[in-house]
């Protein structure tokens, strides 16, 4: 194989020995060239966007961004071989979507199997967009409440703590997250946020609005039979009849 | 429950001693009130009282098997009336026969025996009540003691199982990642791989071998922490740095086994896992006013937002300390800039040590 046909490989894992073993195992694949190693989700994401690798070895638990959060921010994900030590939800997500993954520690045979499969899909020019989307969807079934949300504006990634979100508004296929300083678009559904935000604090007052009651000022009559929430920053948000009921319950009125 | 009179020689002596005491009182009355000759008074007092004492012994079984809670009142009253009548007839019949045989030519005394029948019946009823109540009291007391013992045992069991729940379990994430590091090192640095296998084995042995309620010395607990940190150092390389400053006066301090482990696990999780910079974990142990003070300080990235909420680990430790020392002011945490402080105080004397 000529050098220019070699596939570019990135390693993203926060543990040096974990990257070392991949480097060792890849020695028998002259067609694969390691073009970079990264130890956290942030720099890993940046590297994927800039270096456009063909194949990425991706760990799940990492500083700054997890492997899944990173994946969620990629528009055109490369072929990915996941690795994780112990994460029941991750494993479930992989199994449900027939994606290849390595459970640490793994044997050379198991590693080769995964790499051979990846090379085949590289040759076929398969794009992984669909499978990646499905994995993310499966991971989102995880019942954990979110503490942070990663969003991307152009090539810049912002990690927003959910406690700083004042309210969320539906906007077509997106949801706008309003914080003190800014607003961010995230390609997710209202249903997703309703499920993954602390229900004690985030109340869906309308089909297209979720508010953080910490930033709420008062509840007012909007017109006959309907109400509006006035936020501390002056924003007025309409509440539906059912939304009003939920809000009243949350405020223990 | 055994018959209380036959429990020991002492209890037999007390029982019959009491009857002899009652006989003594009767003897005095017969001599000074009724002016009977000494031998007649003595025989009368002893025969009546000791006989009651003997015939009264089986009463225990009636009391025992008519515990007030188990049967209805009618049954109890009926049982006792029957046994009372039976006891009085046997008692008085026997005593009367013996005494009238012994003193058949003493007309004054024989008349007295006949005249005193109502009085003797009344005293018999009173003695019956007294003996019955004493037996009931003994049963009540016995049951109470048993209940208290049971409760104490139940509490210990509960406490033990609670402690077991709270004791930190080996984190599978840590375990599998460490094994992966070993797998990697076998190629590049077999010597270090072997070292790590040994460290990991010692760490696992320490974690699984001790019960949740048991205590160990601070020196041993810190030895295990060192193993843990060394393993993590192999995983994360220079990203993790640690320092131990231990006052030699503290090392013999007894502390609950594996109580420090979750604190270091936290420091690693929120420090090393979430940071891209070097993280220093410092440990200081000092003695102050009857307590050993252990302070763990770790760097963390204040901008890092944990993926999910934390605090379970710290709460578990608090609960364990509460169950061991009956205090809930032993663990304190605070943040200062990018440093996280955990302060743990271990009281010198250990109350209510388990196992």
Q: Which residues of A touch B236 (CB under 8 A)?
A: 14-16
Residue B270 CA: distances (Å) to CA of A64, B229, B267: 11, 14, 5
- Reduced to 3 states (helix: H, G, I; strand: E, B; else coil), residue A172 is coil
CB under 8 A, 24+ apart: contacts of B83-89: B83/B59, B84/B125, B84/B128, B87/B55, B87/B56, B87/B59, B87/B124, B87/B128, B88/B121, B88/B124, B88/B125, B88/B128
3-state helix, strand, coil in chain B (%, to 5): 65, 15, 20
* pLDDT-based confidence at residue B353 (cuts at 50, 70, 90): very low
- Residue A144 near residue B308, CB atoms below 8 Å: yes
Record: contact A104-B175, CB cut-off 8 A: no
H helices then E strands: how many in chain A?
A: 8, 15
B209 close to A (CB below 8 A) = no
| Residue A219 bridge partners (DSSP) | A229
The mean pLDDT of A163-190, rounded to a whole number, is 91
Mean pLDDT of A146-151: 88
Which residues in A lie closer than 8 A to residue B240 (C-beta atoms)? none
Tens digit of pLDDT for each residue in B148-166?
998 888 888 777 777 776 7
How high is the pLDDT of residue B7?
A: 85
Higher-confidence position of B36 and B69: B36
Inter-chain CB proximity B276 and A40 less than 8 Å: yes
pLDDT of residue A98: 67
Q: Rounded distance, CA B293 to CA B253, Å?
A: 10
Residue A215 distance to chain B (closest CA, Å): 20
Query: Is the CB of B176 less than 8 angstroms away from the CB of A104?
Result: yes
- Of B99-103, B301-305, B341-345, least confident by mean pLDDT is B301-305
Closest of A198, A205, A213 to residue A161, by C-alpha: A198
> Is the pLDDT reported for residue B71 higher than 70?
no
Nearest to B305 by CA among A68, A200, A150: A150
* Lowest-confidence region among A107-111, B124-128, B285-289: B285-289
Taking the Cβ of residue B173 and every Cβ of chain A, the question of whether any pair is shorter than 8 Å is answered with yes
Mean pLDDT for all residues in chain A: 87
Mean residue pLDDT of chain B comes to: 86
- B181 interaction partners in chain A (CB closer than 8 Å): 15, 17-18
Residues 228-287 of B with CB under 8 A from A: 234-237, 239, 273-276
Cis peptide before A105 (omega within 30 of 0): yes
- The residue among B303 and A250 whose pLDDT is bigger is A250
Of the candidate CATH numbers 3.90.1150.10, 3.30.830.10, 3.90.550.10, 2.40.50.1020, the domain formed by A148-250 belongs to 2.40.50.1020
pLDDT reported for residue B352: 42
Q: Residue A99 — pLDDT band, cuts 50, 70, 90?
A: confident
Mean pLDDT computed over B105-134: 89
Q: Is A235 exposed, middle or buried (0-12, 13-18, 19+ CB in 10 A)?
A: middle
First to last CA, chain B: 29
Q: Measure B283 CA to nearest chain A CA, in Å.
A: 24
pLDDT at A94 over 90: no
A104 touches chain B (CB under 8 A): yes
CA distance to A231, A250, B35, B115, B316, per residue, from B105 (Å): 115, 101, 17, 17, 89
Minimal C-alpha gap between B179 and chain A (Å):
6
Which of these, A150, A177, A153, A148, lies nearest to A163 by C-alpha position?
A: A148
Nearest CA-CA distance, residue A220 and chain B, Å:
33
Whether A187 contacts A153, CB under 8 Å: no
Q: Which residues sit opposite B82 in a β-bridge?
A: none
pLDDT at A152: 87
Chain position carrying tokens 């220093």:
B280
CA distance B319 to chain A (A): 24
- pLDDT band at residue B72 using 50, 70 and 90 as cut-offs: confident
Say if residue B86's pLDDT is above 50.
yes
What per-residue confidence (pLDDT) applies to B73? 79
Residue extent(s) of CATH 2.40.50.1020 domains in chain A:
148-250
Is the ipTM higher than 0.85? The answer is no
Query: pLDDT value at position A23?
Result: 95
Output the pLDDT for position B355.
Answer: 36
Summarize the confidence of residues A151-161 as an average pLDDT.
Answer: 86
Class of domain B214-347: alpha beta
Q: Domain A3-139 classified CATH 3.40.50.2300?
A: yes
For A147, the closest of B176, B183, B305 (CB atoms) is: B305
Q: Would you say residue B235 has pLDDT above 90?
A: yes
Q: Where in chain A is the domain with CATH 3.40.50.2300?
A: 3-139
Residue % of chain B over a pLDDT of 70: 93
Residue B319: Cβ within 10 Å count: 15
pLDDT of A132: 77
pLDDT at B345 over 70: yes
Q: Cβ B235–A104 below 8 Å, yes or no? A: no
Domain boundaries, chain B: 4-163, 214-347
């Amino acid at each position: 194989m000529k050098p220019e046909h070699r596939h570019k490989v990135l390693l993203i894992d926060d543990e040096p020995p974990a990257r070392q073993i991949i480097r060792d195992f890849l020695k028998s694949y002259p067609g694969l060239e390691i073009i970079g190693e990264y130890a956290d989700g942030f720099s890993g994401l940046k590297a994927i966007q800039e270096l456009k690798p063909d194949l990425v070895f991706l760990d799940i638990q990492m500083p700054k961004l997890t492997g899944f959060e990173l994946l969620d921010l990629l528009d055109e994900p490369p072929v990915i071989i996941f690795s994780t030590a112990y994460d029941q939800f991750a494993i479930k997500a992989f199994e449900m979507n027939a994606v290849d993954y390595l459970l640490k520690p793994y044997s050379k045979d198991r590693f080769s199997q995964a790499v051979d499969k990846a090379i085949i899909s590289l040759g076929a020019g398969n794009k992984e967009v669909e499978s990646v989307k499905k994995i993310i969807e499966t991971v989102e079934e995880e019942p954990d409440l979110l503490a942070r949300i990663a969003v991307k504006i152009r090539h810049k990634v912002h990690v927003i703590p959910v406690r700083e979100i004042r309210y969320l508004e539906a906007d077509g296929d997106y949801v706008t997250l309003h914080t003190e300083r800014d607003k961010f678009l995230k390609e997710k559904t209202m249903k997703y946020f309703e499920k993954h935000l602390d229900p004690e604090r985030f109340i869906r007052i309308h089909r297209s609005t979720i508010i953080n009651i910490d930033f709420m000022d008062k509840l007012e009559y909007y017109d006959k039979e309907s109400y509006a929430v006035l936020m501390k920053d002056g924003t007025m948000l309409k509440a539906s009849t059912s939304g009003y009921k939920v809000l009243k319950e949350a405020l223990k009125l | 429950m055994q018959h209380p009179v036959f429990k020991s020689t002492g209890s037999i002596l007390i029982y019959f001693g009491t009857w002899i005491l009652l006989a003594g009182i009767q003897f005095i009355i017969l001599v000074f009130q009724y002016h009977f000759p000494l031998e007649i008074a003595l025989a009368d007092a002893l025969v009546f009282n000791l006989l009651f004492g003997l015939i009264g012994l089986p009463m225990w079984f009636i009391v025992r098997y008519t515990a007030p809670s188990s049967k209805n009142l009618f049954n109890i009253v009926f049982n006792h009336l029957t046994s009372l009548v039976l006891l009085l007839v046997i008692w008085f019949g026997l005593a009367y026969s013996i005494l009238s045989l012994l003193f058949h030519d003493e007309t004054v005394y024989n008349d007295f025996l006949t005249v005193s029948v109502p009085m003797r019946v009344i005293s018999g009823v009173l003695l019956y009540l007294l003996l019955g109540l004493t037996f009931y009291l003994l049963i009540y007391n016995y049951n109470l003691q048993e209940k208290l013992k049971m409760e104490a045992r139940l509490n210990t069991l509960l406490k033990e199982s609670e402690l077991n729940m709270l004791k930190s379990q080996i984190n599978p994430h840590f375990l599998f990642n460490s094994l992966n590091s070993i797998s990697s090192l076998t190629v590049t640095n077999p010597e270090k791989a072997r070292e790590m296998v040994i460290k990991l084995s010692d760490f696992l042995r320490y974690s699984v071998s001790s019960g949740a309620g048991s205590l160990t010395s601070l020196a041993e607990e810190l030895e295990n922490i060192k193993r843990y940190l060394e393993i993590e150092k192999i995983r994360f390389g220079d990203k993790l740095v640690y320092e131990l400053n231990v006052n030699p006066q503290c090392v013999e301090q007894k502390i609950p086994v594996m109580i420090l482990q979750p604190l270091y696990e936290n420091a690693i999780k929120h420090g090393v896992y979430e940071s891209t910079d070097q993280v220093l974990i410092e440990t200081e142990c000092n003695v102050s006013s009857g307590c050993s003070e252990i302070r763990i300080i770790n760097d963390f990235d204040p901008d890092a937002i944990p993926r999910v909420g934390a605090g379970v680990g710290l709460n578990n430790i608090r609960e364990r300390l509460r169950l061991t020392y009956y205090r809930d002011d032993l663990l304190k945490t605070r943040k200062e800039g990018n440093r996280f402080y955990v302060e743990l105080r271990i009281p010198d004397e250990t109350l209510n040590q388990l196992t």
